[in-house]
Amino acid sequence: MEIHQRFTQWAMSQGVEINGIAAHRFPGKGLGIIAEKRHKAGDTLLTVPEGALRSVRTVPKRISAPIGSITVHGLLAADLTADVSPHRAAWRAVLPNKKDFGESVPLMWDEQLQQFLPLPAKKLLNHQKSKLKADWQAVSAAFPDFSKDDYLYNWLIVNTRTFYYVPPRSKKNLPRDDCMALNPFADYFNHADEGCEVLCTSTGYEVVTDKPIEKGTEVHISYGSHSNDFLLAEYGFMLDENKWDHVKLDEYIIPMLSTAQKEDLEEKGFLGEYTLDKETICYRTEVALRIICLPRGKWNRFVSGLDDGEKDQPSVNKQLLGILESYQDDASKVIKSIQSLNVGLDCQRVTLQRRWTQIMNLLQSAIQRMGA
């Protein structure tokens, strides 16, 4: 852990204040943060001053000027790729390596394996691919000596380690995707579905405990209310216990709708985003299923709140059950296909199977709740 001690010293020299926590290796998670003493709820564990962040404001002109217009993500990745400064060597030394990303992040997987990601993860992946392509086009034109491999590595560093950040006194409204900064030492924190509070103030960041934490246990923050498909596509991991996990039923419901039904749903703002979580199906799904199985007048009364829909619930449930069962059949076929695949790494195929098993479990719980 010598490199971590060196980095910790360096971070403190940049004004970072660390209270009773340290970097620690956790199996299956890389590095994370461990409590070195007992903390009570409301304790400030970490303060990172504005001046220690790496953001759009700290990118030198010699990097930004030749590139011109580009996302903040793409620019920070270019800045990291060019960075050989001894000043930040201690920080570079504690970052994950290319092999870590190669195993975990779907963007690095064989395309044949990527095809087996659940649709929401695949959509995020496609978005990443087009963002990366545009960023690399702009950066490689300005810096033809950069290796694509190094740029991709740094692009993933930015993707997996930045915090939401709006530079103070920004004149223009940055798009959400561009609000990001690298945050030394804070970027050691791993994610859980609930974690310490991360406060972004005008002077920097603070991490404050949300509950008492025992000495020797891992301390988490929450990267957001993310499903496992999101965590997998964006960060290359999934949680076993994730209260925000859900599956989308759009692939099954939308093809069942006629053009007129889609138009009606669109007009009322209910087309798509049909979600099943650990406890319920969402109201949007109820509305879509009812347009399929009820006469138009009844559907209108339900949507306008004149009918609570109780009497028609059995027909809706029957419709839903059929959908959940065919989704289950498909998921079990996907798992079998992954088992017979010969591409990619074992750990990647295991991750995919784990995700599809989680999906099967979500579907099974919903079926059981319906009393089927």
The residue ranges that bind ligand SAM (CB under 6 A) are 28-32, 96, 104, 160-161, 187-188, 190-192, 235-237, 239
**Residue 34 identity (one-letter amino acid):** I
| Residue 47 or 319 with smaller CB distance to ligand SAM | 47
| Residue 238 or 324 with smaller CB distance to ligand SAM | 238
| Residue 195 or 204 with smaller CB distance to ligand SAM | 195
Residues 6+ apart with CB under 8 A from 72: 55, 56, 174, 177, 178, 179, 180
| Residue 160 or 285 with smaller CB distance to ligand SAM | 160
The two three-digit tokens of residue 328, written as one number = 């289950």
The answer to whether the beta carbons of residues 279 and 245 sit under 8 Å apart is no
CB of 4 to ligand SAM, least distance (A): 10
CB of 211 to ligand SAM, least distance (A): 17
Residue nearest to ligand SAM (CB): 30
CB of 102 to ligand SAM, least distance (A): 12
| Residue 151 or 188 with smaller CB distance to ligand SAM | 188
**Residue 3 identity (one-letter amino acid):** I
- Rounded CA separation 105/30 (Å): 13
3-state class (DSSP) for residue 221: strand
- Rounded CA separation 66/206 (Å): 35
CB of 105 to ligand SAM, least distance (A): 7
The two three-digit tokens of residue 195, written as one number = 């974690």
**Residue 270 identity (one-letter amino acid):** F
Residues 6+ apart with CB under 8 A from 1: 23, 25
CB of 334 to ligand SAM, least distance (A): 23
